[in-house]
Amino acid sequence: MDLDDAALFVRIVELGTLSAAAREREVPVSQVSRALNRLEARCAVRLLHRNTHGLSLTDEGDTVLAHARRLLEVRAELDSALSGRLAGPSGWVRLSVSTITAETVIAPSLPTLQARHPQLQLDISTDDRVVDMVREGVDIAIRTGSPAGDNLVARQIGELRRGLYASPDYLRRHGQPATPADLARHRLIGNSLNPALNLWPLPGGAVHAVRGHTRVDSTAVALSLARAGAGIGRFIDIAAAPLLASGQLLPVLAGQLNEEPLPLFAVMLHERQRLPKLRACIAHWADWLAGRVPPLD
């Protein structure tokens, strides 16, 4: 089996169409079709059913897909291991991360990662949604909370906390809440993408369900709204810290909420967890969050 054809077959299945695979490789659809025909001829079986509704695997195609993935995993591990021994971890790492985590963790830690591993290259995709790592070709996803999926492996790289914050201007106009019950009369900034983020924990196991005067689908935008005086928002400490230091935000109800530590995970596909380039990135971010990476001179 030609490994390039095998790799293309895997991406056709993951993306769902020949045209999507062609766009990803920036080649004509006819070239992708010829590669698929070549692989089917070599295997002497039909691998995909093609109809107006799309593509579906045959039984033989399902078997070939499993073997193709294993072959590609072995090749990737071998390439990475050999290059790692010669010149350290190298190659492209596709990273999926929320905008706020990209700004507060990935961006400030990137210079020291590049200095530590100059052969690594990062392709960073910022999105607050949970991505399909297989379909979108993601190597590492940085997420809070426990990941779901039997084919995923998570490594904890740090621990964050959330708190409530508002701008000095907002608190001058609306007053500082004295107790959690006072939140009911304030303008709160909610999240339209993840409803769980609208349940703010209170003492005794209760929650305040945020209906909000403003909702956004990006935590980074919510932080900008709070800084501009639009209301009270709930943010991770590492994102709020520089704005607290500059006086653009103030804490609200500090110590009065029931905020548990929030684990931050690096999530990988099970078959890619041993790649040196991924392990190097994850080790660096764990060290950086723990304060063990010295700043550049």
Percent of the chain with pLDDT over 70: 95
Question: Would you place residue 80 in the very low, low, confident or very high pLDDT band (cuts 50, 70, 90)?
Answer: low
Q: Which CATH number is 3-82 given?
A: 1.10.10.10
Domains 3-82 and 162-252 share a fold: no
Percent of the chain with pLDDT over 90: 49
| The pLDDT of residue 130 | 78
Flag whether pLDDT at 263 surpasses 80.
yes
Which token pair is 233? 């928002």
| The pLDDT of residue 168 | 97
Q: What number is the average pLDDT over the span 78-89?
A: 66
Q: Model confidence over 88-113: pLDDT tens digits?
A: 788 889 999 998 899 999 999 999 99
Query: What is the model's pTM?
Result: 0.72
Q: What number is the average pLDDT over the span 110-120?
A: 92
Q: How far apart are CA 141 and CA 39, in angstroms?
A: 32
| The pLDDT of residue 244 | 94
**Parallel/antiparallel/unpaired status of strands 120-126 and 91-97:** parallel
Which token pair is 89? 């971890």
Q: What number is the average pLDDT over the span 168-178?
A: 96
Neighbouring residues of 202: CB distance < 8 A, sequence distance ≥ 6: 180, 208, 257, 258
Q: How far apart are CA 116 and CA 135, in angstroms?
A: 30
Q: How far apart are CA 259 and CA 251, in angstroms?
A: 14
Q: How far apart are CA 295 and CA 297, in angstroms?
A: 6
Q: Model confidence over 282-297: pLDDT tens digits?
A: 999 999 999 888 877 6
Question: Would you place residue 148 in the very low, low, confident or very high pLDDT band (cuts 50, 70, 90)?
Answer: low
H-helix segments, 246-275? none
Q: Model confidence over 179-219: pLDDT tens digits?
A: 999 999 999 999 998 888 899 998 888 888 998 789 998 88
Question: Would you place residue 272 in the very low, low, confident or very high pLDDT band (cuts 50, 70, 90)?
Answer: confident
Fold entry, domain 88-156+263-289: D-Maltodextrin-Binding Protein; domain 2 (3.40.190)
| The pLDDT of residue 202 | 87
Structural domain boundaries in the chain: 3-82, 88-156+263-289, 162-252
Homologous superfamily of 162-252: Periplasmic binding protein-like II (3.40.190.10)
Flag whether pLDDT at 77 surpasses 80.
no
Q: Which residue spans within the chain are E strands per DSSP?
A: 48-51, 54-57, 91-97, 120-126, 140-144, 152-160, 162-166, 189-191, 199-201, 207-209, 214-216, 233-236, 250-252, 262-269
Nearest by Cα to 207 from 145, 162, 159, 171: 162
**In this structure, are residues 121 and 93 in contact, taking their beta carbons and an 8 Å threshold?**
yes
Q: How far apart are CA 172 and CA 190, in angstroms?
A: 21
Question: Would you place residue 87 in the very low, low, confident or very high pLDDT band (cuts 50, 70, 90)?
Answer: low
Question: Would you place residue 175 in the very low, low, confident or very high pLDDT band (cuts 50, 70, 90)?
Answer: very high
